[in-house]
Structure formats: structure tokens, C-alpha cells
Amino acid sequence: MKQKMVKVAVDMMGGDDAPAIVLEAVERAVNDFSDLEIILFGDQSQYTLDHPRIDFRHCEEQITMEDEPVRAIKRKKDSPMVRAAEAVKKGEADSCVSAGNTGALMSAGLFIVGRIKGVVRPALVVTLPTISGKGFVFMDVGANADAKAEHLLQYAQLGNVYAQKLRGIKEPSVGLLNIGTEPAKGNALTKKAYQLMAAQNDFNFAGNVEAKALMQDASDVVVTDGYTGNMILKNLEGTAKSIGKMLKTTLLRGMKNKVAALLIRRDLTMLMAKMDYAEYGGSVLLGLDGIVVKAHGSSNAKAFYSAIRQAKIASEEKVVETMKETVGES
């Protein structure tokens, strides 16, 4: 029986350290997954790979981090990001991955790939680490700064499907980010969203979740508006980096500390691996009529590889089709 192939379109030029880390990640991905084909868009002069399952396509233009998102998508038609999104739209690719301009990729998702009918606002979702190592699905982390309670309800429905299909959680718990766990807590947005979520039967609503409990496995899925979500995400990233630096400084101060660091080196490595965002891949723009994965702009090869793997799994699990059935309108 012929093996069913998964095709992922990749932007070779997006990201701080592209194309080097992208090429490294792509090479590893096609070697690890025999059922994966990559359509790679970028500058021919910087392409260094030679693999039968990599279809390279040269692009004359490039969208930079400084470009205005919507204008860039409309004007730079021959950029890797635009052509990767078009490959998904045309059905040439099952999904696309880019570490480039976040706003431009979201615009490409909305204007080229398009929304699932019935989805009001697509949301940007990430998987973040927890103390246990299980992780949790968090959304929206920046697609929509302003949101209505109905949007948060739809995010919860999308996140529920995502947790089931990509994280393998049979009945995920879904929580609402708030300033307290009591139903009456919060502002007008969260109070109404709570009422809507408590009244439905589509997913397992776990109630309000406080920010301090996010990394303590409070819920499998946590939803909030894009403004709050983006601040939480950046705060967690900054805090993790700061703690890492402080820990390193402390352990390398004096001979006694260096010996102690040597003794617990293996445990420290395991701890850092548990909290490594690179293990979880990129952010997925949920609610689109195709799979669009945003890798972190400062991704290393490991993180970009994880984003490709994430796009592949989402394609195999037919996440978009399931979302059409549960959230979309016929």
C-alpha cells in the first residue's frame, strides 16, 4: 500500500537566523519523517540542500520584520510567505510554516488562506510548559487585542479541538483566564464569557483560572483576549529567561557552587528541557480554512523543526475538518 504523504510549505527566509536554521530544521524533518514532503520557498542562491522530497521554489521578494503587514502581503506577491500561504489555499500543501513577520503571516492567513465559515475571529494559540511537563494550550496570544465574550467562547471551542487532536487529550478541561476563581470575578468581558461557557455542553468547562496557576496544570486549555494573552506570554518568556540567568550566575559563583552544579547537572538539564518552549513548536492560527503555523522569530533549528512537526501532525489529524464540523457553519 502506497504511503500517504503530508506536504508542508515552508518560508525559508523568515526569522532572525534564517535561512540557516530553517535549512537545518527542514533537512532533519525530511530525514526523520518518511511520509513528509517539503515545498520550500526562498532565495535560490542560499539554498544548500539536495533531497528528493524537498521541492524548492525560488522567490524574488522577501517580507521583512519592518514591513507593514497588510501592505506587504498585497505588494510582495513573490515573497516566500505569500507563496507558502497560496500553496495551502490551492491545495498544493496541507499546511505552511514561517518564522517571519507575525502580522504579515496573520494577514496572509486571513486574506489568502481564509477563515472557516462561521469563525468570527481566528486566534493565535501556543502550547506552554507546566511544572509537571504536561503543558497547556493557551489562546489568544495576539491575533485580536479586542474581543467579545462570544469570541472567547469560540476560542474555547477551537482550543478544545486542538487539545484533542494535537495533544491527544481525550476530554480536555477548558478554563477562562481571570483575576479570581469565583464566577462573579472579573470585568464585563470575563463575566459574560463565563456565563456563556458554563451554559454550553460542547466542552468540559473548568471555570476561571488565575494567572498564578497557569503553570501548575490548572487546565488543559486556557482562553483569554489577545491583549492579555500576549502580555502573559511575553511575561512568562521573560521570567523564564531571567530565572535561567540568575541560576547560572549563582551556580558559577565560587568553587562550592560549581561543585554543587556539577553534581546536579543532569537534574538541571532535565529541568531546562521540561521548560523549553522549543519542544512545543510554534503558534497556530486557529479558525482558518487551512493550517498556518507561526514559528518564533528567534527560533533555533530545534524550535523550527518542532513547528514543522506540529504542522505535519495538524495535517494528519485533519484539525481543520474537525473545526468545520464543530464550530463552522455549512
What residue spans define the domains of the chain? 1-119+287-330, 126-279
The class (CATH top level) of 126-279 is alpha beta
What is the maximal distance between C-alpha atoms in the chain?
68
- Looking at mean pLDDT, say which of 37-46, 255-264, 276-285 comes out highest: 37-46
CA distance 298 to 283: 13
Per-residue pLDDT averaged across 234-241, rounded? 84
Q: Name the pLDDT band for 237 (thresholds 50, 70, 90).
A: confident
pLDDT tens for 107-143 read: 999 999 999 999 988 999 999 988 888 899 999 998 8
Residue 46 has what pLDDT? 97
Average pLDDT of the residues in 17-39 = 97
- High-pLDDT (> 90) share of the chain, %: 74
Residues whose CB is less than 8 angstroms from the CB of residue 224 and which lie 6 or more positions away in sequence, other chains included: 138, 139, 140, 152, 176, 177, 232
pLDDT at 243 (0 to 100): 83
Distance, in Å, from the CA atom of 7 to the CA atom of 289, rounded to the nearest integer, reads 16
How far is it, in rounded angstroms, from Cα 252 to Cα 109? 46
Percent of the chain at pLDDT > 70 equals 96
CATH of 1-119+287-330, one of 3.40.190.10, 3.10.450.50, 3.40.718.10, 3.40.720.10: 3.40.718.10
Place 274 in a pLDDT band, splitting at 50, 70 and 90: low
Predicted TM-score (pTM) of the model is: 0.89
- Identify the pLDDT of residue 278: 60
Q: Residue 277's pLDDT band (boundaries 50, 70, 90)? A: low
Q: What is the pLDDT of residue 275?
A: 66
Residue reference for cell 494567572: 211
Region 170-179 average pLDDT: 97
Would you say 173 and 204 are in contact if contact means Cβ atoms under 8 Å apart? yes
- Report yes or no: 239 and 207 within 8 Å, Cβ to Cβ: no
What is the pLDDT of the chain when averaged over all its residues? 92
More confident: 51 or 325: 51
Residue in the structure block whose three cell numbers are 511537563: 133
CA angle, residues 61, 64, 66, in degrees to nearest 5: 140
Distance (Å, whole) CA 11 – CA 3: 25
Please give the pLDDT value at position 329. 67
Q: In whole angstroms, give the CA distance from residue 70 to residue 312.
A: 27
pLDDT band at residue 144 under the 50/70/90 scheme: confident
Residue 227 or residue 269, greater confidence: 227
H-helix or E-strand spanning residue 93: none
The predicted model gives 286-307 an average pLDDT of 93
For residue 199, the model assigns a pLDDT of 97
Give the H/E segment covering residue 86: helix 80-90
The answer on pLDDT for 89 being more than 90 is yes
Q: Where are the beta strands (DSSP E) in the chain?
A: 6-11, 36-42, 54-58, 95-98, 123-128, 136-139, 173-178, 204-210, 221-223, 283-286, 291-294
Q: Is 226 exposed, middle or buried (0-12, 13-18, 19+ CB in 10 A)?
A: buried
Average pLDDT on 228-234 reads: 92
